Amino acid sequence: MTENRLADGQQGEAAVDGRDSRRYSPTRELWKSLLTNKRALAGGAIVILLVVVALLAPQVSPYDHTRQDIANRLSPPSPEHWLGTDELGRDVLSRIIYGARTSLTVGGLSVAVAMLLGVVIGAVSGYFGGTLDDVLMRIADVFLAIPGIVLAIALVAVLGASTWNVILALGITEWVNFARVVRGQVLSVREREYVVAARASGAAAPRILMRHVLPNVASSVIVMATLSLATMIIAEASLGYLGLGVPPPQPTWGGMLNTGQRFIHTAVHLSVFPGLFIVVTVLGVNLFGDALRDLLDPKLGRD
Amino acid sequence: MSGLIIYALRRITVSIPVLFLLLLFIFLLLHLVPGDPLTAYMAEDPRATQADVDRLRESLGLDQPLHIQFLHYISNTVRGEFGTSLHSRELVSNMILDRLPYTLQLGVAALLFAVAIATVLGVFAALFHNTWLDGLSMSIAILGVSIPNFWLGLMLISLFAVTLNWLPASGAGTLSHLILPTIALGTAWAALTTRLIRSSMLDVLREDYVRTARSKGQVERKVVTHHALRNALIPVVTYVGAQIPGIVGGAVVTETVFSRPGIGRLLILSISRRDFAVVEGVILMIGVIVVFSNLLVDISYAFLDPQIRYE
């Protein structure tokens, strides 16, 4: 693992600046490190495989995921139905494959919402400081005081359960983490000579933020985004399990587990398989995210 | 000691605006609900007439303008009055107090379980750094954070309650009711804490005082427990503080899996009943628990590490 880590801070900074007189390409270097890192490879392979399966769901799922076959309900895994059938006789594997679409889409988009909110608020707060910073950070404290899943539950309860509301609710619970990291880094970057020079030469704040400040926080944000994808996938599944997720008929892994619990005495396969897929997905994302963190942002891991 | 008191007072002062904003946030969140909470109530009881609803609205103060409602809300909350449940007509404060012990028991049990497991795994991983034992501990840790607590709960129920019939699948009251929920909730936390203790131990084992202890001929076991572990656990204290929201949130889901009658289960039930007075009360209670436990953690950290007080 360690031999793959970018050798020192100098290279790390080059990776962030994207410029080097020796025509050193940080992106190529990062790819090389990722491709020789076992955890990154394993995690990346799992995630890519799941994305491909989700994209090709109509082609790869053995049955129509909505087709009911009451005569064959709650049947255990068999050569016809590899992972068995559910309470309406629907093929569990096909529903899990379509569930991957929900899980990855909702997970990915909620991270995007969180990242957008967090980066903007964090950058503005850190760069301008003063009262604005105080107010924004007190608001952040309130979000930190309410556990993410509880806030998401409350937001979905208020907004109503729909795919977009779940994405929005999850994004709103996660922005604070991005905002705090970005704010901290902006605070340290804004006093550096090149930013002071840009300010002195009359550059406007949005330009300074976009050109000089944000590129410096990009690697931390990418690492955070990967790791928070794992959190969001679990949170989406939890909401689905609690009956507050993406509503039926769209299959979700959490929703399938909610049904599974009702039949835990008679058809345990309904509880086992959707959960295994959640674990494998989250494990893949975590393995990749961990490797990425070690390569891009070793300091973040120490906290 | 006076430094500590000044620090504690300053830290408490900072918490007050957060609590106020928390109140405002929860109030706005639930008073901007699209649709009237009383409509749902009416739908539940077909005999209710419009006059009944109006009377109820007036008695609950829901006919007042929003800012007046907020002032009432604050003054009631400060006096510990969280209103009445639309569903059961019970006082929300009583409902919460009845169920709070179950949630606190679960949270504390999960915390102890997590720290115990994490200390063992983390210390071994650090002592056998870069060996297969280290690799195994770290693999368990990354797997542990990837398992959703509610699914782990379902699997534990399936194995220990349904198949083996050793432990109850639901309910609360005895120690045996606490075991499965504790494992379900504590595992992910144990995994996260293992990684922290490992890296903290690795740092501490390189310190001069550990080398000194070894060179004066101290038994290795004592070096680890007396000199290294004690210091390695200090950062764990702040970390525990940072994880409290996560464990309280996890408790909400875990209580639902095991039908444990804590405030998390109450929250989910009240949402399905659209009983927003209870929802409001529970979320506020959770927020207050988090703010106060963070306060306690910060103060105990300052107690453990005197440098903090003078920052």
ipTM: 0.86
Return the structure tokens found at B278. 């209870």
Residues of A with CB under 8 A from a CB of B: 138-139, 141-142, 144-150, 153-155, 157-160, 230, 234, 237-238, 241-244, 257, 260-261, 264-265, 268, 271-272, 275, 278-279, 282-283, 286-287, 290, 301-302
CA distances from A131 to A136, B10, B20 (A): 9, 19, 18
pLDDT at residue number B13: 84
Max Cα–Cα distance, chain B, nearest Å: 86
Interface test with B, best of A142, A252, A258 (most B CBs within 10 A): A142
Cβ distance B148 to A144 less than 8 Å, yes or no, reads no
Which chain B residues touch A144 with a CB distance below 8 Å? 245, 290
Rounded to the nearest 5°, which phi and psi values hold at B136? -65, -45
Min Cα–Cα distance to chain B from A99, Å? 16
pLDDT at residue number A218: 86
Q: Look up the pTM and report it.
A: 0.87
For every residue of A175-194, which 3-state class applies, written as one string?
HHHHHHHHHHHHHHHCCCHH
Which chain A residues touch B29 with a CB distance below 8 Å? 154-155, 158
Of the pLDDT bands very low, low, confident and very high (cuts 50, 70, 90), residue A5 is very low
Q: Which parts of B32-148 fold into alpha helices (H)?
A: 37-44, 50-59, 66-78, 92-127, 132-146
Which chain A residues touch B246 with a CB distance below 8 Å? 147-148
**CB-CB contact of B63 with B70 (8 Å):** no
Chain centre to alpha carbon of residue B142: 21
Min Cα–Cα distance to chain B from A62, Å? 25
Chain centre to alpha carbon of residue B246: 6
- Tens-of-pLDDT digits for all 311 residues of chain B? 677 888 888 888 888 888 888 888 888 887 776 556 666 666 666 677 777 777 777 776 777 788 888 888 888 888 888 888 888 888 999 999 999 999 999 999 999 999 999 999 998 898 888 889 888 888 889 999 999 999 999 999 999 999 999 999 888 888 889 999 999 999 999 999 998 899 888 888 888 888 888 888 787 787 887 778 877 887 787 777 778 888 889 999 999 999 999 999 999 999 888 888 899 899 999 998 888 888 888 887 777 766 665 54
Is pLDDT of A68 > 50? Answer: yes
CA torsion sign for B144, B145, B147, B150 is positive
Query: What's the rounded Cα separation, in Å, for the pair A258 and A269?
Result: 13
pLDDT in tens, A75-114: 889 888 889 888 888 999 999 999 999 999 999 999 999 9
Min Cα–Cα distance to chain B from A149, Å? 6
pLDDT at residue number A8: 40
How many A×B Cβ pairs under 8 Å?
Answer: 129
pLDDT at residue number A3: 38
Q: Is B253 on the interface with A (CB under 8 A)?
A: yes
Is pLDDT of A36 > 70? Answer: yes
Average pLDDT over residues A52-66: 91
Query: pLDDT: is A4 or A229 the higher one?
Result: A229
Kindly report the length of chain B. 311
Return the structure tokens found at A21. 């007189």
B18, B146, B158: residue with CB nearest A279? B146
CA distances from B50 to B38, B57, B65, B89 (A): 10, 10, 20, 19
pLDDT at residue number A271: 92
- Burial (CB < 10 A; 0-12, 13-18, 19+), residue A263, is middle
- Residue B31, amino acid: H
Beta bridge partners of residue B29, listed in sequence order:
none
Max Cα–Cα distance, chain A, nearest Å: 77
- Nearest of B189, B190, B177, B176 to residue B262 by alpha carbon: B177
- Burial (CB < 10 A; 0-12, 13-18, 19+), residue A246, is buried
Cβ distance A145 to B283 less than 8 Å, yes or no, reads no
Min Cα–Cα distance to chain B from A124, Å? 21
Query: pLDDT: is A180 or B228 the higher one?
Result: A180
Min Cα–Cα distance to chain B from A85, Å? 18
Cβ distance A278 to B151 less than 8 Å, yes or no, reads yes
pLDDT at residue number A276: 96
Average pLDDT over residues A146-156: 91
pLDDT at residue number B170: 87
A149, A275, A279: residue with CB nearest B154? A275
Is pLDDT of A191 > 90? Answer: no
Query: What's the rounded Cα separation, in Å, for the pair B74 and A83?
Result: 53
Which chain B residues touch A257 with a CB distance below 8 Å? 150-151, 154
Per cent of chain A over pLDDT 90 is: 47
Average pLDDT over residues A146-173: 91
Strands (E), chain B: none
Of the pLDDT bands very low, low, confident and very high (cuts 50, 70, 90), residue A163 is very high
Which chain B residues touch A147 with a CB distance below 8 Å? 245-246, 248-250, 252, 286, 290
Min Cα–Cα distance to chain A from B216, Å? 31
pLDDT at residue number A50: 95
Number of H helices, E strands in chain A: 13, 0
Return the structure tokens found at B27. 């109030």
pLDDT at residue number A12: 43
pLDDT at residue number B240: 78
Cβ distance B21 to A237 less than 8 Å, yes or no, reads no
pLDDT at residue number B222: 79
